Amino acid sequence: MPGIVVRAQFSELQSVFFPCQHSASFSVPAMRAALLIQRWYRQYVARLEMRRRCTWNIFQSMEYAGEQNQIKLYKFFSYLMDHFTPASSERNLIAHIFRENEVCRDAEWERYFNYKNIEVPEFYSGPHLNFPLTATNATELVEAFRTKQQLHSRYVLQLLVETWKLLRILPNINHVSTCHSKEITICGDLHGHLEDLLLVFYKNGLPSMETPYVFNGDFVDRGKNSMEILLILFAFLLVYPNDVHLNRGNHEDHIVNLRYGFTKEVLGKYRVHGKKILKLLQKIYSWLPLASVIDQKVLILHGGISDTTDLDIIAKVDRHRYVSTLRPPKQRKSSAKNKQSDQDSWDEDNMTRRRVRSMTYSSPGVSRPEVQRHSLQTLSSQVEEELRERRRRAGFSLSHGDLHNSLSSDSDSDPGENLETDAEDWKQVVDMLWSDPMPIDGCVPNEVRGGGCYWGPDITREVLEKHNLQLLIRSHECKQEGYEFCHNRKVLTIFSASNYYEVGSNRGAYIRLGPDLVPHLIQYQASRSTRDLTLRQSVGRTERSALRALREQLFAHKSDLISAFQEFDPEQTGLISLNHWATAMESVLQLGLPWRMLRSQLVNHTQDGKLNYQSWFKELAIMEPNTQLAHTNLLETLYKHHSNLETIFRIIDTDNSGLISFEEFRQTWRLLSSHLQIDISDEAISDLAQSIDFNKDGSIDINEFMEAFRLVDRTQQERSNSTLSGVHPHLLQSEHPTKTLLVSASPHFV
């Protein structure tokens, strides 16, 4: 990429080397003074940068730990399905998770998604859509969303069906050209931040034939207008199919949506038809193109590449088979023998399960009836060990060679070839959507996220050369300035959701690319108030938010932390050195954070360089849980895993009532506790279930339940009563707010 060099003025140069000559009025003291100020300024900036980096680190490591967490959970269920037959009541639960698109013809799908019966009532004041959509419709839609209206579910379904029909005929790789002297605009992750999309449209213009766009994935999750963003993007796609291009991101995945908020958003906004909408979106996701190429020279995809990336293979995969990229696709052929063994509730998923089994089973020739059956109750630590081994072999870190070997050892399977191509194809797709760049050469599995790779500058060189490309544009990682170059400016990360972690945490940006293929970057920040903050104020604000989130994690791991501290305190003095504190923190939380640096923010009092850890916990100003709930360590555990719990609840709440029965609650908990290897008695679970049934009607409201297990800063609560307004009335105990069940101010990414 050619750089643009500005030549320094000769007069300026003179002032450096001959200061006295150039500025006769400035003496040597002035010179010295200037140097002193400059040195101090640079130190000031560097210290702020350090704090900013630290804060960033906190947010990012928690974000990725959450992703990894979810992938582990998903894999665990996968494994369970293959090898264990839980008691029949739990069986349905697990089957649900994998109840993906049943094998159906498209015509049947169209009947299922029939929107024609849905009537739009007279009093509906939102936008009306006419199909085929016109530019006016699309513009009106944008305007409607800007004024916070909601599109009626009939139009939503209609729009989605039309989108699906269009996407089906698109290739895996969009080929875009800048001929006709067009400049193309490329946007990165939006994550439901409608205000950012509107800002981009305001600055750059709505999509049209003169203003083509590429949207590089992650349109949904986290922000609260994911639905509106999708609807806008799809509307413009329908109106300008040659000028609007969408790439799939790792969040265009229904499993990920369960955890990161999109599912919740849809079900909340569309109580009657939400489920259908989600189902249709599952299909749409799988039909989204995987990449775009501009002028055959610039490659745009969401995550990145790996040492095996091959665009020719990618162009030919059946992309719609990857409903969720977290899971290998259903196998093409199935063997008859496997089907007969377990017909009752597993039928739909037979093919998939067989596929997964073939990757995890080392001893060939074992047919299903002989598989040893364990009930969930008797799972022991050997499960985890086995699972670790399976994961290692079945997971993303699998190299192509290993995969081939483990596959071919299963004699039940069809000839290895189909499985081999399947595995290869899957890896191509996963790598494209999940990988991150790294500064050193090579290609290693991306263990931080749990999917894809880390790839180095040498891989960039190779892949670009192989396909005669000159630039790779990707997204997937939040960047403070909204963009970042790396790999010798051959890779450009673009991120379009400003204020992603916290208000003021980062800018968003988009790219304009003309026929010269030199990227021009435009930055913005959605919230006006943050632009006027000084650098230190902005850093400080984000920092406080990160520390709050971190303190919540500390609470969630309190027992483990105390045990770890006690190991360093064999004489039970109640004190440990700060060094040991840091070591213990990392060993329990495993977030890879610079604890020694954070120490000054987290620890207020030390005695002779030692910390009294019990009183330290009290100082963190985290509320003690309501003493009505007797099992306080259970509470802590539940808090720690509440994201997983929520995910599972949403899966089992099949009628989207928001309610689950005690029995379902118990089943969920048993499943989760075997995954986590926690030993909690049935009695404790039952007690807990009953105590959170606030209206005593025999069922638990999911939202209420989740609300109950979030934390607040004691000091914050005293300051602002607005926190309490988010509390369910049942959770409030009249005069003493400190006795309430935990009420939240937690950031939304948890």
Least distance to another protein, CB of residue 203, Å: 21
Least distance to another protein, CB of residue 31, Å: 6
* The one-letter amino acid at 576: I
Q: Is 440 in the site for another protein (CB under 8 A)?
A: yes
Q: Is 608 in the site for another protein (CB under 8 A)?
A: no
Contact 478, 60 (CB under 8 A): yes
Contact 234, 213 (CB under 8 A): no
Q: Which of 579, 604, 657, 720 binds another protein (CB under 8 A)?
A: 579
| Nearer to another protein (CB atom), residue 45 or residue 120 | 45
Question: How far is residue 270's CA from residue 277's CA, in Å, rounded to a whole number?
Answer: 8
Q: Which of 277, 266, 255, 274 is nearest to 322 (CA)?
A: 255
> Residue 387 burial by CB count (10 A; 0-12/13-18/19+): exposed, middle or buried?
buried
Q: Is 596 in the site for another protein (CB under 8 A)?
A: yes
The helix/strand/coil state of 495 is strand
Q: Which of 205, 241, 364, 592 binds another protein (CB under 8 A)?
A: 592
| Nearer to another protein (CB atom), residue 22 or residue 714 | 22
Question: How far is residue 329's CA from residue 39's CA, in Å, rounded to a whole number?
Answer: 58
Q: How many of the chain's residues bind another protein (CB under 8 A)?
A: 63
Assigned token pair, 378: 């008797």
Q: Is 630 in the site for another protein (CB under 8 A)?
A: no
| Nearer to another protein (CB atom), residue 22 or residue 393 | 22
Q: Is 60 in the site for another protein (CB under 8 A)?
A: no
Q: Is 47 in the site for another protein (CB under 8 A)?
A: yes
| Nearer to another protein (CB atom), residue 159 or residue 564 | 564
Question: How far is residue 98's CA from residue 76's CA, in Å, rounded to a whole number?
Answer: 12
Q: Is 568 in the site for another protein (CB under 8 A)?
A: no
Question: How far is residue 130's CA from residue 525's CA, in Å, rounded to a whole number?
Answer: 34
Q: Is 438 in the site for another protein (CB under 8 A)?
A: yes
Q: Is 534 in the site for another protein (CB under 8 A)?
A: yes
Q: Is 547 in the site for another protein (CB under 8 A)?
A: no
Q: Which of 2, 10, 370, 573 binds another protein (CB under 8 A)?
A: 10
Q: Which of 1, 38, 202, 242 binds another protein (CB under 8 A)?
A: 38
Least distance to another protein, CB of residue 608, Å: 14
| Nearer to another protein (CB atom), residue 43 or residue 738 | 43
Least distance to another protein, CB of residue 400, Å: 21
| Nearer to another protein (CB atom), residue 261 or residue 457 | 457
Q: Is 42 in the site for another protein (CB under 8 A)?
A: yes
Residue 453 parent element (H or E)? strand 453-455
Residue 273 parent element (H or E)? none
Q: Is 30 in the site for another protein (CB under 8 A)?
A: yes
Stretch in the footprint of another protein (CB under 8 A) among 18-26, 256-264, 295-303, 359-367: 18-26
Q: Active-site positions? A: 251
Q: Is 202 in the site for another protein (CB under 8 A)?
A: no
Residues with Cβ < 8 Å from 336, sequence gap 6 or more? none
| Nearer to another protein (CB atom), residue 302 or residue 487 | 487
Q: Is 4 in the site for another protein (CB under 8 A)?
A: no
Question: How far is residue 194's CA from residue 13's CA, in Å, rounded to a whole number?
Answer: 48
Using CA atoms of 465, 468, 474, 479 in order, give the dihedral in degrees to the nearest 10.
60
| Nearer to another protein (CB atom), residue 9 or residue 147 | 9
Contact 688, 705 (CB under 8 A): no
Q: Is 41 in the site for another protein (CB under 8 A)?
A: yes
The helix/strand/coil state of 16 is helix
Q: Is 18 in the site for another protein (CB under 8 A)?
A: yes
Largest CA distance in the chain: 96
Q: Which of 107, 174, 146 is nearest to 231 (CA)?
A: 146
Contact 214, 176 (CB under 8 A): yes
Q: Is the peptide bond before 289 cis (omega within 30 degrees of 0)?
A: no
Separation in Å, CA 403 to CA 201, 427, 576: 45, 11, 47
Give the N- to C-terminal CA distance of the chain in Å, as an integer: 39
* Contacts of the segment 119-124: beta carbons below 8 A, 24+ positions apart: 119/154, 120/152, 120/154, 120/155, 124/152
Q: Which of 45, 87, 120, 209 binds another protein (CB under 8 A)?
A: 45
Q: Which residue has the tokens 């999917």?
A: 451
Q: Is 43 in the site for another protein (CB under 8 A)?
A: yes
Q: Is 528 in the site for another protein (CB under 8 A)?
A: no
Q: Is 536 in the site for another protein (CB under 8 A)?
A: yes
Question: How far is residue 266's CA from residue 124's CA, in Å, rounded to a whole number?
Answer: 19
Q: Is 377 in the site for another protein (CB under 8 A)?
A: no
Query: How many CA atoms within 13 Å lie on the side-chain side of 85?
Result: 13
* The one-letter amino acid at 317: V
Angle at which helices 88-97 and 642-652 pack, to 10 degrees?
100
Q: Which of 366, 444, 562, 591 binds another protein (CB under 8 A)?
A: 444
Q: Which of 49, 108, 389, 465 binds another protein (CB under 8 A)?
A: 49
Q: Which of 1, 37, 272, 630 binds another protein (CB under 8 A)?
A: 37
Site for another protein in 690-749 (CB under 8 A): none
Q: Is 465 in the site for another protein (CB under 8 A)?
A: no
Q: Which of 120, 272, 535, 630 binds another protein (CB under 8 A)?
A: 535
Least distance to another protein, CB of residue 303, Å: 14
Per-residue exposure over 599-612, b if at least 16 CB sit within 10 Å of its own CB, e if not: eebbbeeeeeebbb
Least distance to another protein, CB of residue 504, Å: 15
Q: Which of 1, 13, 104, 272 binds another protein (CB under 8 A)?
A: 13
* The one-letter amino acid at 196: D
Q: Is 594 in the site for another protein (CB under 8 A)?
A: yes
Rule CB under 8 A: which residues touch another protein? 7-8, 10, 12-19, 22-23, 26-27, 29-50, 53-54, 57, 436, 438-440, 444, 446, 448, 454, 480-481, 484-485, 488, 534-536, 579, 582, 592, 594-597
